[in-house]
Amino acid sequence: MRESVLTRNTKETSVTISVNLDKPGEGIINTGIGFFDHMLTLFAFRAGITLNVECRGDLHIDEHHSVEDVGIVLGQALAKALDNKVGIVRYGTASLPMDEALVHATLDISGRGYLVFNAHFPAEKAGQFPTELTEEFFRALAHNAGITLHINVAYGRNTHHIIEAMFKAVGVAFAQAKMITGDTIPSTKGVL
> Side-chain half-sphere of 80: how many Cα atoms within 13 Å?
15
* CATH (domain of 25): 3.30.230.40
Number of domains in the chain: 1
Residue pLDDT, tens place only, 130-147: 999 999 999 999 999 999
Is 190 inside a domain boundary? Answer: no
Quote the domain boundaries for residue 155: 3-178
Is 183 inside a domain boundary? Answer: no
Is 185 inside a domain boundary? Answer: no
* pLDDT > 70 fraction of the chain, expressed in percent and rounded: 100
Is 108 inside a domain boundary? Answer: yes
User: DSSP string covering the chain, please?
Assistant: --EEEEEEE-SSEEEEEEEETTS-----EE-S-HHHHHHHHHHHHHHT-EEEEEEEE-TTT-SHHHHHHHHHHHHHHHHHHHTT-TTB--EEEEEEEETTEEEEEEEE--S--EEEEE---SSSEETTEETTHHHHHHHHHHHHHT-EEEEEEEE-S-HHHHHHHHHHHHHHHHHHHH-B--SS-SSTTS--
Is 11 inside a domain boundary? Answer: yes
Name 93's bridge partners. Answer: 106
Dihedral Cα 64, 31, 105, 2, nearest 10 deg: 130
Residue pLDDT, tens place only, 57-111: 999 999 999 999 999 999 999 999 999 999 999 999 999 999 999 999 999 999 9
At residue 74, what are phi and psi to the nearest 5 degrees?
A: -65, -45
